[in-house]
Amino acid sequence: MGRNYFGTDGIRGRTNAGVMTAATAMKVGQAAGTRFLRGSHKHRVVIGKDTRLSGYMLENALVAGFTSVGMDVVLTGPLPTPAIAMLTRELRADVGVMISASHNPYEDNGIKLFGPDGFKLSDADELAIEAMLSEDLPLAPAAQIGRARRIEDARGRYIHAVKAALPHDVRLDGLKIVVDCANGAAYQVAPSAIWELGAEVVAVGVAPNGTNINDKCGSTHLDLIKETVVASGADIGIALDGDADRLIVVDEKGQTVDGDQIMALIGSQLAARGELRGGGIVATVMSNLGLERFLAGQGLDLIRAKVGDRYVLEAMKAGGYNVGGEQSGHMILLDHATTGDGTIAALQVLAALVKNGKRASELLHLFDPVPQLLKNVRFSEGKPLDDQRVQAVIAEAEAQLAGRGRLVIRPSGTEPVIRVMAEGDDAGEVEAVVDAICTAVKEAASA
């Protein structure tokens, strides 16, 4: 069956429009609860959220859904997505829920689901839940309706886990670090964890008001952290997104260090210590050709998965890899977490900074990326990529780049957008190829 609700990262959309309503959230709670009512024990779900205004509405609707089918609910309040994955496993819950639309603006929200092992749900589980959303599900008898409670130690549990991911022989004393939490889920825990490890912390994006999440701050809007790093004379900047599963670094000069460079650093550092499993790392089709060439020079492989951290994780588990991620900043380090964790990834970068004794600008730019250009084309309806004229332009571009670069074209899994990316050693050729395809897609979408 097709997917009407779940995309590449749970369910996501504009709140009070389309699928992202309180009614849908309650039904998701009932369906996911029913799916994970297994065995005779008292069942439990952990629910966390980021700082969006709509989080209150969706949280209450999910509580109603889960309790109505007999599940007890544990509420954490605002916490990063990886914290909910961790707590689901630690508290022996049957399912975990994160209410977040990640890096999207506050008007959007989403529902991410985790199984009892702390990993995101499989395709089979998502499809089963999707099918149940159109069914009348059996409700619990009155005496078996679930209870809901808030726990007070969730933040402390996560901070402890984050700190444990830093090598025991490393402290951050003497480092001045700017931490941008995007006015999102990590606004309390990330600065606290890094400060407790000895650093001087300059925290920005830590005043959420329900509508300012990802607003001109965080990993997708870097002007604030770049300016703050340079103005404060900081050693490095750590930029997270709204649910803190994504990391972008800024060096002391205000230069961006993207996910590809972060993966190159973490992968090569682990390889040098004999701790990199699988003989390489897992990235996506969007990662730069420069990363692939750098790893090859280290005798390491780059395995490419489809875009989306769930597909990266699938490839990691299948091949026995412990490092994977995306150019956009999702970093999955299976030695420490079951899903992307921006703060834990940041600590690996900071540990390398301490151990090597170099400036961030000297350590974090390990390869020169080949020219790469990504453009998005928004459309209202239809399937522009099926148009014969678009396919002809794409075929011509592939022939032009053959042997000298790569072309990746894909529809977004969360919004009506076609993403067009090309890379190669000739920047002019790359730009011409991308523009030609984008023009063709726009014309097909408006026809």
What DSSP string describes 23-59?
HHHHHHHHHHHHHT--SSSPPEEEEEE-S-TTHHHHH
Co-location of 351 and 380 in the same domain = no
Co-location of 303 and 174 in the same domain = yes
**Amino acid found at 18:** G
* Nearest by Cα to 189 from 105, 83, 97, 101: 83
CA distance 268 to 295: 8
pLDDT tens string 12-43 = 999 999 899 999 999 999 999 999 997 778 89
Co-location of 167 and 187 in the same domain = yes
Co-location of 250 and 119 in the same domain = no
Co-location of 148 and 292 in the same domain = no
The answer to whether position 428 is within a domain reads yes
Question: Whole-number mean pLDDT of the chain?
Answer: 95
Co-location of 11 and 124 in the same domain = yes
Which of 95, 120, 152 marks a domain boundary? 152
Co-location of 201 and 117 in the same domain = no
pLDDT tens string 337-355 = 999 999 999 999 999 999 9
> pTM of the full predicted structure?
0.91
* Nearest by Cα to 342 from 262, 265, 247, 263: 247
Q: Is the pLDDT of residue 382 over 90?
A: no
What percent of the chain is predicted at pLDDT more than 90?
A: 88
Read off the DSSP letter of residue 77: E
Give the domain CATH number at 265. Answer: 3.40.120.10
What percent of the chain is predicted at pLDDT more than 70?
A: 99
User: Residue range 402-418: average pLDDT?
Assistant: 84
Confidence at 78, pLDDT banded by 50, 70, 90: very high
pLDDT tens string 413-425 = 667 899 999 999 9
Q: Is the pLDDT of residue 3 over 80?
A: no
User: Residue range 121-138: average pLDDT?
Assistant: 93
At 131, is the secondary structure helix, strand, or coil? helix
**Pseudo-torsion of CA 215, 216, 218, 222, nearest 10°?**
160
Co-location of 415 and 438 in the same domain = yes
Residue the block writes with tokens 């130690």: 153
Confidence at 7, pLDDT banded by 50, 70, 90: confident
At 109, is the secondary structure helix, strand, or coil? strand
pLDDT on residue 402: 85
pLDDT on residue 89: 96
**Does residue 102 carry a catalytic annotation?**
yes
At 206, is the secondary structure helix, strand, or coil? coil
pLDDT tens string 290-316 = 999 999 999 999 999 998 888 999 999
User: Residue range 79-106: average pLDDT?
Assistant: 97
Residues contacting residue 391 through CB under 8 Å, at least 6 positions apart: 385
Expressed as residue numbers, the domain containing 258 is 157-363
pLDDT on residue 412: 79
Report the Cα 321 to chain-centroid distance in Å. Answer: 18
Co-location of 225 and 267 in the same domain = yes
* Nearest by Cα to 166 from 193, 189, 142: 193
Which of 126, 152, 178 marks a domain boundary? 152
Q: Is the pLDDT of residue 1 over 70?
A: no
Which of 115, 136, 152 marks a domain boundary? 152
The answer to whether position 1 is within a domain reads no
Co-location of 412 and 289 in the same domain = no
pLDDT tens string 141-192 = 999 999 999 999 999 999 999 999 998 899 999 999 999 999 999 999 999 9
DSSP lists the bridge partners of residue 144 as: none
Q: What are the strands of the beta sheet with 148-150, ordered from one edge? A: 6-7, 10-14, 108-114, 95-99, 44-49, 72-78, 148-150
Q: Is the pLDDT of residue 2 over 70?
A: no
Q: Which of 102, 192, 268, 287 is catalytic?
A: 102
Co-location of 235 and 342 in the same domain = yes
Confidence at 123, pLDDT banded by 50, 70, 90: confident
pLDDT tens string 236-258 = 999 999 999 999 999 999 999 99
With beta carbons less than 8 A apart as the criterion, state whether 401 and 428 touch: no
Total of domains in the chain: 3
Count of beta carbons in the 10 Å neighbourhood of residue 358? 12
Q: Is the pLDDT of residue 193 over 80?
A: yes
